[in-house]
Amino acid sequence: MQRSVIETIMGAVVLAVAALFLSLAYRATDLAGRDSGYTLVGHFTAVDGLTLGSDVRVGGVKVGTVTDQYIDPELFEAVVKLSIEDGVKLPTDSSAQIASDGLLGGRFVNLVPGKDDAMLEDGAEITDTRDAVALEDLLGRAIFLIADE
């Protein structure tokens, strides 16, 4: 009887610790805040290295996340959906570019605010987009430039 009580208490402690870790992981991955904010859409020809959950930044500060990406079957472009915090309002002439966190870092979407007085609404499309530049392409161009000389 004594052994059974100790095993029950230890099992409860293990379950409590597991619940604590799940709660911390849920908050750390920012899944709790995904429903807040508004959605913007951008069309890119290349989104190499961009994944769901990647940061969306303005001036280096995280203001949202990438919530979806898929291929447009008519244009064969990558469509990227961004969730932006409610407090961040962007002009309609803003641009989006896919940037890298250093040489080996992950990709993120960098938003550059424009100067227009009108603001982007929920579901609006960012028309000025710039694609990701692949490191392999840059190295290949540099090698061909050196080889041509």
Q: What are the two backbone dihedrals, phi and then psi, of residue 61, each rounded to the nearest 5 degrees?
A: -105, 130
Are 41 and 124 in contact by the 8 Å Cβ rule? The answer is yes
Q: Are strands 78-84 and 61-71 parallel, antiparallel or unpaired?
A: antiparallel
| Mean pLDDT, rounded, of the chain | 87
* CA atoms of 68 and 10, how far apart (whole Å): 42
**Rounded to the nearest 5°, which phi and psi values hold at 125?**
-105, 135
Residue 149 has a pLDDT of 63
What residues are paired with 95 via a beta bridge? 112, 128
Give the pLDDT score at 27.
Answer: 75
The pLDDT tens digits for 101-134 are: 876 778 899 999 999 999 999 999 999 999 877 7
Give whichever of 18-22, 23-27, 134-138 has the largest mean pLDDT: 18-22
What's the whole-model pTM score? 0.70
Q: pLDDT digits over 29-68, tens only?
A: 655 555 578 999 999 998 888 999 999 999 999 999 999 9
Per-residue pLDDT band for 2 (boundaries 50, 70, 90) equals low
Is residue 1's pLDDT more than 70? Answer: no
HSE-CB at 55 with a 13 A cutoff on CA atoms is 15
pLDDT recorded at residue 4: 85
